[in-house]
Amino acid sequence: MILVSQPNYNIAVLPGDGIGPEVTSAAVAVLDALQASGPGFSLSYSEHSVGAGEFLKSGNPLPDEAFEACRASHAVLLGAMGLPGVRWPDGREMTPQIDLRERLDLYAGPRPIYLYSADDSPLRGYQPGEIDFVIVRENTEGLFSARGSVQPEDRLSASDVLHLTRKGCERICRYAFEEAMRRRKKCSLVDKANVLPTMVFFREIFDEVAKDFPEVATEHIYVDAAALFLVQRPQSFDVLVTENMFGDILSDLAAGLVGGMGMAPSGDIGTDCAVFQPSHGTAPDIAGQGKANPVGTILSAALMLDWLGEKEAAIRIQKAVKMALSNPAHRTPDMGGKESTGSLTEKIIANL
pLDDT digits (tens, 9 = 90+) for 307-346: 999 999 999 999 999 999 999 999 999 999 999 999 999 9
What distance in Å separates the CA atoms of residue 189 and residue 176, rounded to the nearest whole number? 9
Q: Are 300 and 274 in contact (CB under 8 A)?
A: no
The residue among 263, 296, 311 that closes a domain is 263
What distance in Å separates the CA atoms of residue 76 and residue 273, rounded to the nearest whole number? 8
pLDDT band at residue 251 under the 50/70/90 scheme: very high
Report whether pLDDT(2) > 90: no
**Is 71 in the same domain as 11?**
yes
b/e burial code for range 119-132 (CB count within 10 A of at least 16 → b): ebbebeebebeebb
* Total structural domains within the chain: 2
pLDDT band at residue 1 under the 50/70/90 scheme: very low
In a domain, 59, yes or no: yes
The residue among 229, 263, 297 that closes a domain is 263
What's the confidence (pLDDT) of residue 212? Answer: 98
Strands in the chain per DSSP E: 8-16, 42-47, 75-80, 108-114, 132-138, 186-191, 217-222, 239-242, 265-269, 274-278
Angstrom CA distances, 331 to 75, 111, 251, stand at 29, 21, 21
What's the confidence (pLDDT) of residue 177? Answer: 98
**Mean pLDDT of all residues belonging to the chain:** 95
pLDDT band at residue 95 under the 50/70/90 scheme: confident
**What CATH number did the domain enclosing 199 receive?**
3.40.718.10
Q: What is the mean pLDDT of residues 2-17?
A: 85
In a domain, 292, yes or no: yes
**Is 50 in the same domain as 179?**
no
Q: What is the mean pLDDT of residues 46-59?
A: 95
pTM as predicted: 0.94
158 vs 107 pLDDT, higher one: 107
Show the domain range for 310.
1-107+270-352
What's the confidence (pLDDT) of residue 313? Answer: 97
In a domain, 98, yes or no: yes
In a domain, 155, yes or no: no
**Is 67 in the same domain as 143?**
no
Per-residue pLDDT tens over the stretch 261-302:
999 999 999 999 999 999 999 999 999 999 999 999 999 999
Per-residue pLDDT tens over the stretch 182-240:
999 999 999 999 999 999 999 999 999 999 999 999 999 999 999 999 999 999 999 99
**Is 136 in the same domain as 34?**
no
Report whether pLDDT(90) > 50: yes
pLDDT band at residue 159 under the 50/70/90 scheme: confident
**Is 113 in the same domain as 103?**
no
The residue among 263, 293, 322 that closes a domain is 263
**Is 250 in the same domain as 117?**
yes
**Is 210 in the same domain as 257?**
yes
In a domain, 93, yes or no: yes
In a domain, 154, yes or no: no
Report whether pLDDT(4) > 60: no
